Structures are given as structure tokens and as C-alpha cells.
Amino acid sequence: MSLSVGDTAPEFSLPDQDKQVVSLSDLRGTPVLLVFYPFAFSGICTGELCQLRDELTTYTDAGVRVLAISTDPVFSLKAFKAQENFDFPLLSDFWPHGETARAYGVFNDKAGMAVRGTFLVDADGKIAFSEVNQPGDARQQSGWKDAVATLAA
């Protein structure tokens, strides 16, 4: 089961595309948008993350850190970030496989991947927005932007 608004966001420490560990606890005091996606280089995921890249100032201007998370290994994420010029970290939930996605209730055991889960974590570590879409169901980012605007107000 996925997390709901008001729940405490599960802690995690995951390597980014450069093998630098990013921990949610280190970002306490700053709102964080967590964007779980199935796979690097796949069509819908690339489109969603490119839109996020192109509209990143919507989040950063509101003081929100953006972290994208998949079960891909760091080497794939490094190539994906370089190819698409992403200005936000891509975190690898590769091993233990999908452990963070499981903690957020967005791991598909049969396929071995994260589904499209989006969580806005407030500065106190509580879920302020939660949305889960299935792998083939592209997300509309207007809900994320509304949640960020509400949090920033």
C-alpha cells in the first residue's frame, strides 16, 4: 500500500548517478519531490523526466529539491542523465532491489520495478502530496505543481 498525505516519509540512503549517497534525512528542513519511475531510457519515463527538467524552476524557485528514483543501476542512470541533461539527481534503488520503492508502496514485485509514484515530502518529513500511477499511465504534473504552490504558500 502506498503512503498517504500526513504519513511520515520513509528514510532512505541511495547512490546517485555518480555513486554519491543521498539521504532523505540529510535534506530535512527542505521540501523534497520524490519521483519514482520504472526505467531509464523508456519512452514515458523519458518524457516525464524531460518535462520535469524543462519546468524544474517551478520546484527549485519554491525551495523544493527534486529527486528521481528508479531500480536502474547507477551506470545506466549516469548515461541517462548525460543524454537528457537532467539537472537533478537520479537515484538508484537497485540494491537491495527496490527496497525504497517498497517502503513507499510503489514496487511492482512481478516486474521488479517501481511504478510511477510521486511524493512531495515537506520540510518536517511528512508526505504533503501523494500520487501513484501504473507503468503505462503517464503522470500529469499539474498536481505536483499545485502541491508545491500550496506548500510554499
Residues taking part in catalysis? 45
- Count, residues in the chain: 153
Radius of gyration of the chain (CA): 14
Provide CB contacts within 8 A for 31, sequence distance 6+: 62, 63, 64, 65, 120, 121, 122, 123, 128, 148, 151
Output the nine-digit C-alpha cell for 47: 518524457
